[in-house]
Amino acid sequence: MRSRKSKWTLELLIIEAAKYTTLKGFREGSARACRVASVHKDKALIMGHLLKYGSKWTLELIKEQAAQYKFRCEFQKGSSGAYQEACRRDDFEEIVADMPKQRRLHSEESILKTAQSCTTRQEFRANHPRLYSAACSRNILDKACQGLSTSFMTWQKAEEIAKNCGYKSEFRTKHKKAYIFAYSLGPEYYQAITAHMTDMRGKV
């Protein structure tokens, strides 16, 4: 007997999950879609934006914290949790409306360039917190992180990419993030996964 085909296509799952901000909310509000999404091959794409736990930061609490500071940078340093939650909200500018903008230390170009040198959003946030916050405050985070994976590069992913490359130059130039990741694990590992590749350097 043929199994019944699920109505939940990838597109419908993405649309449904976008209605929620937390995993708990998605599970309670659309249980069937959540079950399908949790075992879907594109789970990260569907549910990557969901917070595992609900945030304690309501709009009222964020505004109470913001009111204690004169400048945005002070708000960021003094109450990083509230500031980061404010950055995620569409009404960020309303929350910090009374805080004058100080001279921008980072240009948009430098923010975009740094973000694109990272493999994932998480890596951008962890390694460049000031630039990440600047991207949030200027509402260019999505633009800066365009094309970045929602999960960290792994050795399995690096090896799969390397397997499909015939030349070291191809691996180095076309798959820069996997190349950097592989090299960061040490020269022995790098040599092992690129042993099948042709090295064009030095050839006439």
Decide if 2 is inside a domain.
Answer: no
Burial of 179 (0-12, 13-18, 19+ CB in 10 A): buried
Whether 1 shows a pLDDT value over 50: the answer reads no
Q: Residues 118, 119, 120, CA angle at the centre, nearest 5°?
A: 100
Q: Are residues 118 and 160 in the same domain?
A: no
Asked if residue 198 is part of any domain, the answer here is no
Residue 199 domain-assigned (yes or no): no
Residue 5 lies in a domain: no
Q: How many domains does the chain have?
A: 3
Domain hosting residue 15, numbered range: 10-47
Model confidence pLDDT, tens digit, residues 14-66: 888 888 877 878 888 899 999 999 888 888 888 877 766 556 677 888 888 88
Same domain, residue pair 132 and 168: no
Amino acid letter, residue 9: T
Q: pLDDT tens, 133-184?
A: 888 877 888 888 887 765 556 777 888 899 999 998 888 888 877 887 777 7
Please answer whether residues 194 and 169 qualify as being in contact, where contact means their C-beta atoms are separated by less than 8 angstroms: no
Helix (H, G, I), strand (E, B) or coil at 57: coil
Q: Is the residue at 203 inside a domain?
A: no
* Tokens of residue 144, six digits: 């800066």
**Is the same domain home to 82 and 133?**
yes
If you search the block for the tokens 């075992």, which residue do you land on?
39
